[in-house]
Structure 1
Amino acid sequence: MANPRLRVVLAEDAALLREGLVELLERFGHDVVAAVGDSREVAKAVEDHRPDLVVTDVRMPPDFQDDGLRAATALRERHPGLGVLVLTQYAATAYACELLESGEGSEGGLGYLLKDRVGTVAEFLSAVQCVAAGGTVVDPEVVRQLLGNRRTSKPVDRLTARERDVLALMAEGRTNGGIAAALHVSQPTVAKNIGGIFQKLGLTEGDGHRRVLAVLTYLRS
Protein backbone atom coordinates (compact mmCIF):
# COMPACT_ATOMS: atom_id res chain seq x y z
CA MET A 1 0.00 0.00 0.00
CA ALA A 2 1.35 3.46 -0.92
CA ASN A 3 2.35 5.80 1.87
CA PRO A 4 -0.09 8.65 2.52
CA ARG A 5 0.58 12.07 1.02
CA LEU A 6 1.56 14.38 3.87
CA ARG A 7 1.26 18.13 4.36
CA VAL A 8 4.56 19.35 5.79
CA VAL A 9 5.81 22.61 7.28
CA LEU A 10 9.60 22.81 7.06
CA ALA A 11 11.67 25.09 9.33
CA GLU A 12 15.37 25.30 8.44
CA ASP A 13 17.51 28.44 8.33
CA ALA A 14 20.18 27.07 5.96
CA ALA A 15 18.77 28.03 2.56
CA LEU A 16 20.44 25.29 0.51
CA LEU A 17 19.40 22.53 2.90
CA ARG A 18 15.89 23.96 3.13
CA GLU A 19 15.46 23.95 -0.63
CA GLY A 20 16.97 20.47 -0.89
CA LEU A 21 14.54 19.06 1.68
CA VAL A 22 11.60 20.71 -0.07
CA GLU A 23 12.62 19.13 -3.37
CA LEU A 24 13.18 15.73 -1.74
CA LEU A 25 9.84 15.66 0.09
CA GLU A 26 7.89 16.79 -2.95
CA ARG A 27 9.70 14.33 -5.21
CA PHE A 28 8.38 11.53 -3.02
CA GLY A 29 4.80 12.75 -3.11
CA HIS A 30 4.45 15.05 -0.13
CA ASP A 31 3.24 18.66 -0.07
CA VAL A 32 5.56 21.17 1.60
CA VAL A 33 2.91 23.77 2.36
CA ALA A 34 5.43 26.19 3.90
CA ALA A 35 9.23 26.38 4.14
CA VAL A 36 10.52 28.99 6.58
CA GLY A 37 13.91 30.09 7.86
CA ASP A 38 12.94 31.71 11.15
CA SER A 39 11.36 30.06 14.19
CA ARG A 40 8.94 32.98 14.53
CA GLU A 41 7.34 32.01 11.21
CA VAL A 42 6.59 28.41 12.19
CA ALA A 43 3.50 29.09 14.31
CA LYS A 44 1.85 31.18 11.59
CA ALA A 45 2.62 28.52 8.98
CA VAL A 46 0.99 25.84 11.13
CA GLU A 47 -2.05 28.00 11.85
CA ASP A 48 -2.44 28.87 8.16
CA HIS A 49 -1.90 25.40 6.68
CA ARG A 50 -2.72 22.85 9.45
CA PRO A 51 -0.01 20.37 8.37
CA ASP A 52 0.37 16.72 9.36
CA LEU A 53 4.00 17.24 10.28
CA VAL A 54 6.56 19.91 11.17
CA VAL A 55 10.20 19.22 10.33
CA THR A 56 12.44 21.67 12.19
CA ASP A 57 16.00 22.36 13.28
CA VAL A 58 16.79 23.17 16.92
CA ARG A 59 18.97 26.27 16.64
CA MET A 60 17.33 28.88 14.45
CA PRO A 61 16.83 32.65 14.23
CA PRO A 62 16.24 34.94 15.94
CA ASP A 63 18.43 33.86 18.86
CA PHE A 64 20.17 30.80 17.40
CA GLN A 65 19.65 28.92 20.64
CA ASP A 66 16.83 26.36 20.92
CA ASP A 67 14.34 28.60 19.09
CA GLY A 68 13.13 25.89 16.69
CA LEU A 69 12.61 23.37 19.47
CA ARG A 70 10.72 25.84 21.64
CA ALA A 71 8.48 26.75 18.73
CA ALA A 72 7.74 23.08 18.08
CA THR A 73 6.93 22.21 21.70
CA ALA A 74 4.65 25.26 22.00
CA LEU A 75 2.81 24.17 18.85
CA ARG A 76 2.30 20.68 20.27
CA GLU A 77 0.52 22.18 23.27
CA ARG A 78 -1.91 23.96 20.94
CA HIS A 79 -2.15 21.12 18.39
CA PRO A 80 -1.82 17.78 20.25
CA GLY A 81 -2.11 15.72 17.08
CA LEU A 82 0.75 17.49 15.30
CA GLY A 83 3.77 15.37 14.42
CA VAL A 84 7.18 16.97 15.03
CA LEU A 85 10.44 15.71 13.55
CA VAL A 86 13.56 17.52 14.74
CA LEU A 87 16.42 17.31 12.23
CA THR A 88 19.55 18.79 13.75
CA GLN A 89 23.32 18.51 14.04
CA TYR A 90 23.19 18.62 17.85
CA ALA A 91 23.15 15.31 19.74
CA ALA A 92 21.97 17.11 22.88
CA THR A 93 20.16 14.73 25.21
CA ALA A 94 18.47 17.65 27.00
CA TYR A 95 16.88 18.74 23.71
CA ALA A 96 15.72 15.20 22.95
CA CYS A 97 14.19 14.76 26.40
CA GLU A 98 12.47 18.14 26.22
CA LEU A 99 10.90 17.20 22.90
CA LEU A 100 9.77 13.76 24.07
CA GLU A 101 8.34 15.11 27.31
CA SER A 102 6.26 17.55 25.27
CA GLY A 103 4.52 14.52 23.75
CA GLU A 104 3.01 13.16 26.95
CA GLY A 105 -0.74 12.98 26.53
CA SER A 106 -0.47 13.86 22.86
CA GLU A 107 -1.42 11.73 19.87
CA GLY A 108 1.16 13.35 17.59
CA GLY A 109 4.39 11.57 16.75
CA LEU A 110 7.88 12.71 17.68
CA GLY A 111 11.30 12.32 16.15
CA TYR A 112 14.86 13.48 16.84
CA LEU A 113 17.38 12.77 14.08
CA LEU A 114 20.95 13.96 13.53
CA LYS A 115 21.59 15.45 10.10
CA ASP A 116 24.99 13.85 9.59
CA ARG A 117 23.80 10.40 10.66
CA VAL A 118 20.84 10.01 8.31
CA GLY A 119 22.46 7.47 6.03
CA THR A 120 19.91 7.20 3.23
CA VAL A 121 16.96 9.03 1.74
CA ALA A 122 14.80 5.99 2.51
CA GLU A 123 15.76 6.23 6.19
CA PHE A 124 14.70 9.87 6.35
CA LEU A 125 11.43 9.24 4.51
CA SER A 126 10.67 6.29 6.79
CA ALA A 127 11.12 8.54 9.83
CA VAL A 128 8.82 11.16 8.27
CA GLN A 129 6.09 8.55 7.76
CA CYS A 130 6.58 7.05 11.23
CA VAL A 131 6.32 10.40 13.03
CA ALA A 132 3.36 11.53 10.93
CA ALA A 133 1.59 8.28 11.88
CA GLY A 134 2.08 8.97 15.60
CA GLY A 135 5.30 7.03 16.15
CA THR A 136 8.51 7.93 17.97
CA VAL A 137 11.95 7.93 16.32
CA VAL A 138 15.18 8.82 18.13
CA ASP A 139 18.63 8.69 16.56
CA PRO A 140 20.63 5.72 17.91
CA GLU A 141 23.54 8.03 18.83
CA VAL A 142 21.25 10.08 21.07
CA VAL A 143 19.93 6.86 22.62
CA ARG A 144 23.53 5.72 23.22
CA GLN A 145 24.39 8.98 24.98
CA LEU A 146 21.28 8.78 27.11
CA LEU A 147 22.11 5.22 28.04
CA GLY A 148 25.64 6.29 28.90
CA ASN A 149 24.23 8.84 31.32
CA ARG A 150 22.07 6.22 33.01
CA ARG A 151 22.40 6.07 36.79
CA THR A 152 21.58 3.35 39.27
CA SER A 153 18.38 2.97 41.29
CA LYS A 154 16.17 3.89 38.35
CA PRO A 155 13.14 1.95 37.05
CA VAL A 156 15.10 0.85 33.98
CA ASP A 157 17.57 -0.97 36.26
CA ARG A 158 14.88 -3.57 36.93
CA LEU A 159 14.97 -4.66 33.29
CA THR A 160 16.98 -7.59 32.02
CA ALA A 161 19.75 -7.00 29.48
CA ARG A 162 17.50 -8.27 26.69
CA GLU A 163 14.61 -6.03 27.81
CA ARG A 164 16.96 -3.04 27.77
CA ASP A 165 18.02 -3.97 24.24
CA VAL A 166 14.37 -4.12 23.19
CA LEU A 167 13.60 -0.79 24.86
CA ALA A 168 16.59 0.88 23.18
CA LEU A 169 15.29 -0.26 19.79
CA MET A 170 11.79 0.93 20.71
CA ALA A 171 13.35 4.35 21.41
CA GLU A 172 14.70 4.32 17.84
CA GLY A 173 11.14 3.90 16.57
CA ARG A 174 11.49 0.23 15.54
CA THR A 175 8.36 -1.87 15.14
CA ASN A 176 8.11 -5.29 16.79
CA GLY A 177 9.12 -6.83 13.48
CA GLY A 178 12.12 -4.52 13.20
CA ILE A 179 13.19 -5.30 16.76
CA ALA A 180 12.87 -9.03 16.11
CA ALA A 181 15.04 -8.76 12.99
CA ALA A 182 17.69 -6.68 14.77
CA LEU A 183 17.94 -9.09 17.71
CA HIS A 184 17.43 -12.27 15.64
CA VAL A 185 14.49 -13.42 17.72
CA SER A 186 10.82 -14.10 17.00
CA GLN A 187 8.10 -11.45 17.21
CA PRO A 188 6.32 -13.36 20.04
CA THR A 189 9.58 -13.16 22.00
CA VAL A 190 9.72 -9.42 21.41
CA ALA A 191 6.10 -9.05 22.49
CA LYS A 192 6.88 -11.00 25.67
CA ASN A 193 9.85 -8.74 26.42
CA ILE A 194 7.75 -5.62 25.83
CA GLY A 195 5.13 -6.98 28.22
CA GLY A 196 7.87 -7.46 30.82
CA ILE A 197 9.08 -3.90 30.23
CA PHE A 198 5.60 -2.47 30.77
CA GLN A 199 5.14 -4.51 33.93
CA LYS A 200 8.50 -3.59 35.47
CA LEU A 201 8.04 0.09 34.64
CA GLY A 202 4.57 0.06 36.20
CA LEU A 203 2.72 0.86 32.97
CA THR A 204 -0.78 -0.58 32.86
CA GLU A 205 -3.15 -0.82 29.90
CA GLY A 206 -5.08 2.13 31.30
CA ASP A 207 -2.10 4.42 30.89
CA GLY A 208 -2.43 4.58 27.08
CA HIS A 209 0.55 5.18 24.77
CA ARG A 210 2.54 2.76 26.93
CA ARG A 211 5.19 2.43 24.26
CA VAL A 212 5.94 6.17 24.33
CA LEU A 213 5.78 6.27 28.13
CA ALA A 214 8.26 3.39 28.31
CA VAL A 215 10.63 5.24 25.98
CA LEU A 216 10.31 8.40 28.10
CA THR A 217 11.14 6.43 31.25
CA TYR A 218 14.16 5.01 29.46
CA LEU A 219 15.40 8.39 28.26
CA ARG A 220 14.89 10.03 31.65
CA SER A 221 16.98 7.28 33.24
Structure 2
Amino acid sequence: MLNRSDYWQCAYVVPKGSFDNKKTAGIAAFREELAQLLQMEPDRAEELETWEQVKLLSVQVNRLETWWRSGLLCIGDAAHAMSPVGGVGVNLAVQDAVAAANLLADPLRRSVLADRHLQAVQRRRMWPTRATQRLQILIQDRVLLSALRKRSNVRAPLALRLISSIPVLRDIPGRIVGIGLRPEHANTVVVRSEATSPTRWERHLHTE
Protein backbone atom coordinates (compact mmCIF):
# COMPACT_ATOMS: atom_id res chain seq x y z
CA MET A 1 0.00 0.00 0.00
CA LEU A 2 1.42 3.39 -1.06
CA ASN A 3 0.05 6.69 0.21
CA ARG A 4 -0.22 9.02 -2.82
CA SER A 5 -1.47 11.92 -0.67
CA ASP A 6 -4.93 12.18 -2.22
CA TYR A 7 -5.41 8.43 -2.76
CA TRP A 8 -3.96 5.04 -1.82
CA GLN A 9 -2.31 2.83 -4.41
CA CYS A 10 -2.77 -0.80 -3.36
CA ALA A 11 -1.32 -3.96 -4.84
CA TYR A 12 -3.68 -6.93 -4.83
CA VAL A 13 -2.01 -10.15 -5.95
CA VAL A 14 -4.01 -12.84 -7.75
CA PRO A 15 -2.93 -16.07 -9.46
CA LYS A 16 -2.16 -15.60 -13.15
CA GLY A 17 -5.27 -15.97 -15.30
CA SER A 18 -7.77 -15.53 -12.46
CA PHE A 19 -8.59 -11.84 -12.91
CA ASP A 20 -11.50 -12.57 -15.24
CA ASN A 21 -13.07 -14.69 -12.49
CA LYS A 22 -12.82 -11.71 -10.12
CA LYS A 23 -14.57 -9.50 -12.66
CA THR A 24 -17.30 -12.09 -13.23
CA ALA A 25 -18.00 -12.19 -9.47
CA GLY A 26 -18.60 -8.44 -9.56
CA ILE A 27 -17.12 -5.30 -8.09
CA ALA A 28 -19.14 -5.70 -4.86
CA ALA A 29 -17.51 -9.06 -4.13
CA PHE A 30 -14.10 -7.55 -4.88
CA ARG A 31 -14.78 -4.68 -2.46
CA GLU A 32 -15.76 -7.19 0.21
CA GLU A 33 -12.44 -9.03 -0.20
CA LEU A 34 -10.55 -5.75 0.04
CA ALA A 35 -12.45 -4.71 3.15
CA GLN A 36 -11.20 -7.84 4.91
CA LEU A 37 -7.60 -6.99 4.02
CA LEU A 38 -7.41 -3.20 4.36
CA GLN A 39 -5.54 -1.84 7.36
CA MET A 40 -7.93 1.11 7.51
CA GLU A 41 -11.65 1.75 7.84
CA PRO A 42 -13.53 -1.01 5.91
CA ASP A 43 -15.85 1.51 4.24
CA ARG A 44 -12.86 2.96 2.35
CA ALA A 45 -13.27 0.03 -0.06
CA GLU A 46 -16.56 1.60 -1.13
CA GLU A 47 -14.57 4.25 -3.00
CA LEU A 48 -13.80 1.55 -5.57
CA GLU A 49 -16.83 1.97 -7.82
CA THR A 50 -15.92 0.45 -11.20
CA TRP A 51 -13.36 -1.92 -12.72
CA GLU A 52 -11.90 1.10 -14.56
CA GLN A 53 -10.19 1.93 -11.25
CA VAL A 54 -8.44 -1.47 -11.22
CA LYS A 55 -5.39 -1.87 -13.46
CA LEU A 56 -4.08 -5.35 -14.24
CA LEU A 57 -0.30 -5.77 -14.35
CA SER A 58 0.48 -9.12 -15.93
CA VAL A 59 3.81 -10.35 -14.57
CA GLN A 60 6.31 -11.75 -17.05
CA VAL A 61 9.74 -13.23 -16.50
CA ASN A 62 11.62 -13.67 -19.77
CA ARG A 63 14.67 -12.48 -21.69
CA LEU A 64 15.96 -12.16 -25.23
CA GLU A 65 18.23 -14.89 -26.52
CA THR A 66 20.35 -12.27 -28.26
CA TRP A 67 20.50 -8.73 -26.89
CA TRP A 68 22.27 -7.12 -29.84
CA ARG A 69 22.38 -6.56 -33.56
CA SER A 70 24.91 -4.52 -35.51
CA GLY A 71 24.44 -0.97 -34.27
CA LEU A 72 21.88 -1.96 -31.62
CA LEU A 73 22.13 -3.10 -27.98
CA CYS A 74 19.15 -3.92 -25.74
CA ILE A 75 19.56 -3.61 -21.97
CA GLY A 76 17.22 -3.38 -18.99
CA ASP A 77 13.56 -4.16 -19.66
CA ALA A 78 14.26 -4.22 -23.41
CA ALA A 79 16.50 -7.26 -22.87
CA HIS A 80 14.86 -8.98 -19.90
CA ALA A 81 11.46 -8.65 -18.24
CA MET A 82 11.78 -9.08 -14.47
CA SER A 83 9.15 -10.06 -11.93
CA PRO A 84 8.21 -7.38 -9.36
CA VAL A 85 9.53 -9.79 -6.68
CA GLY A 86 12.31 -7.98 -4.85
CA GLY A 87 11.88 -4.80 -6.89
CA VAL A 88 15.18 -5.45 -8.69
CA GLY A 89 14.19 -4.61 -12.28
CA VAL A 90 15.53 -1.05 -12.17
CA ASN A 91 18.67 -2.22 -10.35
CA LEU A 92 19.53 -4.67 -13.13
CA ALA A 93 18.82 -2.01 -15.74
CA VAL A 94 21.31 0.38 -14.11
CA GLN A 95 23.87 -2.42 -13.77
CA ASP A 96 23.41 -3.24 -17.47
CA ALA A 97 23.99 0.41 -18.32
CA VAL A 98 27.16 0.63 -16.23
CA ALA A 99 28.53 -2.56 -17.79
CA ALA A 100 27.70 -1.26 -21.27
CA ALA A 101 29.43 2.06 -20.55
CA ASN A 102 32.54 0.31 -19.24
CA LEU A 103 32.79 -2.03 -22.21
CA LEU A 104 31.73 0.30 -25.02
CA ALA A 105 33.10 3.72 -24.09
CA ASP A 106 36.61 3.07 -25.35
CA PRO A 107 35.61 1.39 -28.66
CA LEU A 108 33.13 4.22 -29.29
CA ARG A 109 35.75 6.87 -28.54
CA ARG A 110 38.18 5.26 -30.97
CA SER A 111 35.45 4.60 -33.57
CA VAL A 112 36.22 0.86 -33.62
CA LEU A 113 32.97 -0.46 -32.16
CA ALA A 114 32.25 -3.96 -33.46
CA ASP A 115 29.69 -6.70 -32.83
CA ARG A 116 32.09 -8.44 -30.46
CA HIS A 117 31.90 -5.48 -28.09
CA LEU A 118 28.10 -5.75 -27.98
CA GLN A 119 28.40 -9.49 -27.41
CA ALA A 120 30.71 -8.80 -24.48
CA VAL A 121 28.00 -6.78 -22.73
CA GLN A 122 25.51 -9.64 -23.04
CA ARG A 123 28.09 -12.19 -21.87
CA ARG A 124 28.78 -10.16 -18.76
CA ARG A 125 25.17 -9.45 -17.87
CA MET A 126 23.44 -12.69 -18.91
CA TRP A 127 24.46 -14.76 -15.89
CA PRO A 128 23.25 -12.31 -13.18
CA THR A 129 20.04 -11.77 -15.14
CA ARG A 130 19.34 -15.50 -15.47
CA ALA A 131 20.24 -16.20 -11.82
CA THR A 132 18.09 -13.34 -10.51
CA GLN A 133 15.11 -14.50 -12.55
CA ARG A 134 15.50 -18.01 -11.18
CA LEU A 135 15.45 -16.62 -7.63
CA GLN A 136 12.33 -14.61 -8.43
CA ILE A 137 10.54 -17.65 -9.83
CA LEU A 138 11.57 -19.71 -6.81
CA ILE A 139 10.11 -17.12 -4.42
CA GLN A 140 7.00 -16.80 -6.55
CA ASP A 141 6.36 -20.55 -6.65
CA ARG A 142 7.35 -21.43 -3.09
CA VAL A 143 6.01 -18.40 -1.21
CA LEU A 144 3.57 -16.23 -3.18
CA LEU A 145 1.57 -18.98 -4.91
CA SER A 146 1.46 -20.98 -1.70
CA ALA A 147 0.04 -17.98 0.14
CA LEU A 148 -2.54 -17.31 -2.59
CA ARG A 149 -3.80 -20.89 -2.55
CA LYS A 150 -4.37 -21.00 1.21
CA ARG A 151 -6.98 -19.15 3.18
CA SER A 152 -5.22 -19.62 6.53
CA ASN A 153 -1.93 -18.06 7.62
CA VAL A 154 1.05 -19.34 5.67
CA ARG A 155 4.30 -20.24 7.36
CA ALA A 156 7.43 -19.00 5.64
CA PRO A 157 9.76 -21.70 4.22
CA LEU A 158 12.62 -22.86 6.44
CA ALA A 159 15.22 -21.04 4.34
CA LEU A 160 13.47 -17.69 4.81
CA ARG A 161 13.05 -18.29 8.54
CA LEU A 162 16.77 -19.01 8.87
CA ILE A 163 17.69 -15.89 6.89
CA SER A 164 15.49 -13.69 9.09
CA SER A 165 16.80 -15.16 12.35
CA ILE A 166 20.57 -15.28 11.70
CA PRO A 167 22.20 -11.82 11.45
CA VAL A 168 24.93 -12.90 9.02
CA LEU A 169 22.40 -14.41 6.63
CA ARG A 170 20.04 -11.46 7.04
CA ASP A 171 22.35 -9.24 5.00
CA ILE A 172 22.31 -11.53 1.95
CA PRO A 173 18.88 -10.54 0.50
CA GLY A 174 19.70 -6.84 0.93
CA ARG A 175 23.01 -7.30 -0.86
CA ILE A 176 21.40 -9.20 -3.74
CA VAL A 177 18.67 -6.57 -4.11
CA GLY A 178 20.92 -3.56 -3.58
CA ILE A 179 24.03 -4.35 -5.63
CA GLY A 180 23.13 -7.54 -7.49
CA LEU A 181 24.80 -10.90 -7.97
CA ARG A 182 27.46 -9.27 -10.16
CA PRO A 183 28.07 -5.70 -8.98
CA GLU A 184 29.06 -3.14 -11.59
CA HIS A 185 31.33 -0.15 -10.90
CA ALA A 186 31.78 2.70 -13.37
CA ASN A 187 35.28 3.05 -14.77
CA THR A 188 36.05 6.78 -14.63
CA VAL A 189 37.76 8.18 -17.70
CA VAL A 190 38.83 11.81 -17.99
CA VAL A 191 38.98 13.25 -21.51
CA ARG A 192 40.65 16.66 -21.87
CA SER A 193 42.73 18.64 -24.29
CA GLU A 194 46.49 18.19 -24.03
CA ALA A 195 46.82 21.99 -24.00
CA THR A 196 44.65 22.31 -20.93
CA SER A 197 46.15 21.63 -17.53
CA PRO A 198 44.02 19.33 -15.38
CA THR A 199 42.12 20.69 -12.44
CA ARG A 200 42.50 19.12 -9.03
CA TRP A 201 39.10 17.42 -9.54
CA GLU A 202 40.22 15.96 -12.87
CA ARG A 203 43.46 14.72 -11.35
CA HIS A 204 41.45 13.07 -8.59
CA LEU A 205 39.15 11.33 -11.08
CA HIS A 206 42.09 10.21 -13.18
CA THR A 207 43.79 8.77 -10.11
CA GLU A 208 40.64 6.89 -9.15
TM-score (norm 2): 0.27
Relative contact order, CA 8 A, sep 6+: which one is greater? 2
TM-score (norm 1): 0.26
Say which structure is richer in strand.
Answer: 1
